[in-house]
């Protein structure tokens, strides 16, 4: 028995089988559709021996022919294309969609079911319905269960011969771009968390603990997000150009301890990157002249400079056992991460510096409040010891203890101020150049103005001088005489005019005690009515033994050094 032919009959809804030739009606299986889109859908999923279009449906025939031609064109596209009816049933699909669905011919299935019911990323959970109802094209991101991402675009179309609406849907595989964007966002979030150092937590931590916390955060992000197992971070010491190790994981012991400098030659890729400020991708370590072994078996490496305000502050290096393991995307990701690492290091430095400054200011404030009262205690105790020669040994011993303890309090405060180094990550610049000649020098300052006495403490003690101040000339003479035998003063700084005498009178009291009086007179701009300076110079005052008030630091220090050298010559 011969099988019947299958014929697709395209006609208007008002037309019937009467217009179909009798031979076809009797000998063929006839399938009737009323628009070209339905015809295309049936052709996609069923086999026909022929297509018959009525004469009054000529335009439909033309459209069907064009659709069939487009079908061949769309099959060659890299994107998936589908035609859906108002129920979102697939009427037609190109070969790319069939390959992605991997389920054979999906014509006749619901669109989302054919794709495995992917999730719609974002707030719009019904993009196809929105496009169909609004008549406006919509775009959405789809996430499949296997981790792929598709960008979907749905555009509504209408057929003049059919009241039903249809959708043309195109799908593009954007898995690579989406994963890279998600990775970039994760890196940026992680970078922001690196610098999220809450003051109430940070200020309670020692510097070492803060650095360890930052290292742990960097390592977590590097391994969990960037997926790098071999990491080395070095910080650049600007004065020496040395690259100081901060963090390393997976590096050979010899490589981790290797001394490197910021130099384009003889310091490996790390030194080259630090010197030039340029990233370096070593695709094959066996044939790269700059590469120095970081980990045994490494075949490729990627090194990026840590930059802050376009200035190199360190390097970030990762290595892989695979050649050509790093791509341009890896380079861009690491650059983004390194920017945040540099900012985090800077944030930590600023916090450390802020705490250090606060601590130093507190010490300075305490010192300024207790320095002058302690000076008065020392002066009064010395006066009693000098004037009361008939004191019993126990009382005299107690006075000596008072003197020693009072001086010791001041020394302890100074030592606390000097023992506040913030750690290796931050070294504050000195306020001025240290004067080694002044270290340990004992200075006696005589002036009625508290501001002058305080200024002497501040300016001289930062160079490790031991400063004692008094208001009156008689107190100064008593202290000088008391300390002649065991803690002699190296310099005496006295005002031209004192409450109880002149600077010349004080010089005359000190002159019998030493061969050369190490005196520096201080005066404000103006006329010296008592000619004190002239008389002192005639009595042996050093020609440079005068400074102007208020003190200029450099002038005061230079003068003190000059007087020390001059008076030391008299002792030689």
Cis omega (within 30 of 0) for bond into 235 = no
Question: Taking 70 as the threshold, does the pLDDT of residue 412 lie above it?
Answer: no
Question: Taking 60 as the threshold, does the pLDDT of residue 20 lie above it?
Answer: yes
Question: Taking 80 as the threshold, does the pLDDT of residue 505 lie above it?
Answer: yes
SS3 content of the chain, % helix, strand, coil (to 5): 45, 20, 35
How much is the pLDDT for 32? 78
Length of the chain: 572
164-187 average pLDDT score: 79
Q: Sorting pLDDT into bands at 50, 70 and 90, what band is 422?
A: very low
Q: Does an H or E element contain 331, and which?
A: helix 328-387
Question: Taking 50 as the threshold, does the pLDDT of residue 429 lie above it?
Answer: no
How much is the pLDDT for 218? 77
- Phi first, then psi: give them for residue 169, nearest 5 degrees: -115, 130
Question: Taking 60 as the threshold, does the pLDDT of residue 93 lie above it?
Answer: yes
- Using an 8 Å Cβ cutoff, are 66 and 37 in contact? no
Domain spanning 75-173: CATH 3.30.450.20: yes
The encoded tokens of residue 349 equal 């430095």
Tens digits of per-residue pLDDT, 265-308? 999 999 999 999 999 999 999 999 999 999 999 999 999 999 98
Domain 180-354 fold: Beta-Lactamase (3.30.450)
**Calpha distance 233→256 (Å, rounded):** 10
Q: What percent of the chain has pLDDT over 90?
A: 28
**Calpha distance 162→72 (Å, rounded):** 24
**Calpha distance 489→479 (Å, rounded):** 9
Question: Taking 70 as the threshold, does the pLDDT of residue 483 lie above it?
Answer: yes
* Other beta carbons within 10 Å of 321: 13
**Residue 327 DSSP code:** -
State CA 380 to chain mean position distance.
56
Tens digits of per-residue pLDDT, 335-368? 888 888 887 777 666 444 444 444 555 555 655 5
How much is the pLDDT for 425? 42
Question: Taking 50 as the threshold, does the pLDDT of residue 530 lie above it?
Answer: yes
Give 275-294 as a 3 state SS string: HHCCCEEECCHHHCCCCCCC
**Calpha distance 453→498 (Å, rounded):** 13
Tens digits of per-residue pLDDT, 216-258? 777 777 777 778 889 998 988 888 999 988 888 899 999 999 9
Q: Sorting pLDDT into bands at 50, 70 and 90, what band is 572?
A: very low
Say which CATH class 360-571 falls into: alpha beta
Give 111-152 as a 3 state SS string: HHHHCCCCEEECCCCCHHHHHHHHCCCEEEEEECCCCCEEEE
Burial label for 136, CB within 10 Å (0-12, 13-18, 19+), is exposed
Q: Which of 24-38, 75-89, 216-230, 232-246 has the highest mean pLDDT?
A: 232-246
Q: What is the mean pLDDT of the chain?
A: 79
532-557 average pLDDT score: 90
Q: Which of 11-15, 30-34, 124-128 has the highest mean pLDDT?
A: 124-128
**Long-range interactions of 362-365: CB distance < 8 A, separation 24+:** 363/413, 363/416, 363/417, 363/420, 364/417, 364/458
**Calpha distance 528→502 (Å, rounded):** 11
How much is the pLDDT for 103? 79
- Using an 8 Å Cβ cutoff, are 356 and 420 in contact? yes
Sheet holding 50-53, edge to edge: 28-33, 5-10, 50-53
How much is the pLDDT for 284? 93
Question: Taking 60 as the threshold, does the pLDDT of residue 200 lie above it?
Answer: no
How much is the pLDDT for 187? 65
> pLDDT higher for 38 or 544?
544
The encoded tokens of residue 478 equal 């008593």
Which residues have CB under 8 Å from 557's CB, separation 6+?
435, 438, 459, 460, 463
Which residues have CB under 8 Å from 345's CB, separation 6+?
214, 235, 306, 308, 313, 314, 425
Burial label for 153, CB within 10 Å (0-12, 13-18, 19+), is middle
Q: Sorting pLDDT into bands at 50, 70 and 90, what band is 428?
A: very low
Cα separation values, 174 from 494, 497, 551, Å? 83, 88, 72
542-558 average pLDDT score: 90
* Other beta carbons within 10 Å of 506: 27
How much is the pLDDT for 559? 94
487-495 average pLDDT score: 91
How much is the pLDDT for 281? 94
Q: What percent of the chain has pLDDT over 70?
A: 72
pTM of the model: 0.46
Cα separation values, 316 from 206, 225, 243, 302, 538, Å? 25, 16, 11, 8, 69
How much is the pLDDT for 538? 92
146-153 average pLDDT score: 90
**Calpha distance 256→266 (Å, rounded):** 16
What is the four-CA torsion angle of 213, 215, 218, 224, rounded to 10 degrees?
-90
147-154 average pLDDT score: 90
> pLDDT higher for 524 or 349?
524
How much is the pLDDT for 562? 93
139-157 average pLDDT score: 89
How much is the pLDDT for 235? 86
Q: Strand pairing of 5-10 and 280-282? A: unpaired
């Amino acid at each position: 028995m011969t099988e019947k032919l299958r014929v697709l009959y395209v006609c208007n809804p008002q037309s019937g089988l009467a217009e179909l030739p009798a031979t076809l009606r009797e000998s063929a299986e006839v399938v009737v559709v009323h628009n070209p889109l339905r015809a295309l859908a049936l052709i996609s999923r069923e086999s026909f021996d022929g297509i018959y279009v009525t004469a009054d449906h000529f335009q439909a025939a033309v459209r069907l022919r064009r659709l069939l031609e487009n079908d061949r064109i769309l099959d060659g596209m890299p994107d998936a294309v589908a035609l859906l009816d108002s129920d979102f049933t697939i009427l037609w699909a190109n070969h790319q969609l069939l390959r992605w669905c991997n389920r054979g011919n999906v014509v006749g299935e619901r669109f989302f079911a054919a794709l495995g019911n992917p999730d719609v990323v974002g707030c719009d959970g019904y993009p196809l319905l929105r496009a169909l109802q609004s008549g406006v094209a919509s775009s959405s991101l789809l996430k499949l269960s296997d981790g792929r991402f598709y960008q979907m675009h749905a555009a509504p179309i209408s057929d003049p011969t059919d009241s039903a609406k249809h959708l043309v849907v195109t799908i593009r595989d954007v898995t690579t771009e989406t994963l890279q964007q998600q990775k970039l966002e994760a890196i940026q979030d992680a970078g922001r968390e690196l610098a999220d150092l809450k003051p109430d937590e940070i200020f309670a931590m020692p510097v070492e603990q803060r650095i360890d916390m930052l290292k742990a955060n960097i390592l977590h992000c590097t391994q969990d997000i960037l997926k790098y197992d071999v990491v080395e971070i070095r910080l650049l010491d600007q004065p020496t150009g040395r690259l100081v190790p901060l963090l390393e994981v997976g590096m050979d012991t010899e490589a981790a301890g290797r001394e490197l400098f910021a130099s384009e030659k003889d310091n490996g890729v790390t030194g080259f990157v630090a010197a030039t400020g340029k990233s370096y991708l070593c695709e094959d370590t066996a044939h790269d002249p700059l590469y120095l072994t970081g980990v045994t078996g490494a075949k490729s490496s990627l090194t990026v400079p840590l930059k802050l305000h376009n200035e190199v502050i360190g390097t970030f290096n990762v290595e892989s056992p695979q050649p050509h393991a790093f791509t341009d995307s890896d380079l861009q990701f690491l650059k983004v991460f390194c920017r945040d690492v540099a900012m985090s290091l800077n944030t930590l430095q600023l916090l450390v510096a802020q705490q250090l400054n606060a601590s130093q200011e507190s010490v300075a404030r305490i010192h300024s409040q207790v320095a002058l009262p302690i000076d008065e205690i020392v002066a009064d105790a010395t006066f009693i010891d000098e004037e009361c020669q008939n004191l019993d040994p126990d009382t005299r011993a107690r006075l000596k203890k008072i003197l020693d303890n009072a001086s010791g309090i001041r020394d302890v405060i100074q030592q606390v101020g000097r023992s506040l180094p913030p750690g290796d990550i931050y070294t504050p610049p000195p306020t001025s150049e240290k004067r080694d000649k002044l270290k340990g020098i004992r200075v006696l300052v005589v002036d009625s103005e508290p501001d002058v006495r305080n200024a002497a403490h501040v300016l001289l003690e930062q160079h490790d001088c031991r400063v004692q101040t008094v208001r009156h000339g008689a107190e100064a003479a008593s202290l000088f005489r008391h300390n002649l035998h065991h803690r002699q003063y190296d310099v005496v700084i006295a005002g031209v005019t004192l409450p109880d005498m002149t600077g010349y009178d004080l010089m005359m009291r000190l002159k019998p005690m030493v061969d050369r009086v190490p005196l520096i007179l201080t005066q404000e701009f103006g006329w010296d009515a008592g000619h004190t300076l002239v008389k002192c110079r005639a009595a042996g005052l050093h020609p440079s033994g005068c400074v102007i008030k208020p003190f200029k630091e450099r002038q005061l220090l230079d003068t003190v050094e000059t007087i020390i050298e001059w008076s030391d010559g008299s002792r030689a």
